[in-house]
Amino acid sequence: MAKSDTKTIAQNKKATHDYFIVESFETGIELKGTEVKSLRAGRVNLKDSWCSIVKGEIFINGMHISPYEQGNIFNKDPMRVRKLLMHKREIMRLFGLVKQDGYSLIPISLYFKGSRIKVQLGLCKGKKLYDKRADMAEKDAKRNIERHLKQVSRVPSLP
């Protein structure tokens, strides 16, 4: 699909702050009732969400999709566990990595790809406190350099 077909609904910025993302996967998600309409309105929170593998199936936990206002009795529980759609071979590979090597499965973003809703799932390893500090210092340095370059470009040249 073309890049213009994807539209980001939500991103998990906390995941990039707390984890090193080793590998990422694109998965589908099983939604019910009016959840799609809430997602189209952008009413979702991925902040404290995580994934678990149970009996060969992968589920997303802690993702909050706000109830649709006009949905009345058809709304589902906003914090319910939702099934992710992946090939069995990929799920079993992830299961082995999560159990042995201490990785975590964290949803990174939620987006539309055409008319379908996809979840970008990250195979992540936790950062230590000094790693977080180093990342923050690097971002701060880049911000200062950009700010300085912007000021320098505004200064008129001498005749």
d(CA 18, CA 58) in angstroms, rounded, equals 22
pLDDT (tens place) for every residue of the chain, 159 residues total = 455 688 888 888 888 878 888 888 999 999 887 888 888 888 888 888 889 889 989 999 988 888 887 767 767 778 889 999 999 999 998 888 888 877 888 999 999 888 889 999 988 888 777 777 888 888 889 999 998 888 887 767 666
**What is the amino acid identity at position 91?**
I
Report the pLDDT value the prediction gives residue 3, as an integer from 0 to 100. 54
Report the pLDDT value the prediction gives residue 155, as an integer from 0 to 100. 66
d(CA 43, CA 125) in angstroms, rounded, equals 28
Q: Has domain 3-127 been given CATH number 2.40.280.10?
A: yes
Report the pLDDT value the prediction gives residue 150, as an integer from 0 to 100. 85
Name the CA dihedral angle for 84, 90, 2, 35, rounded to a multiple of 10 degrees: 0
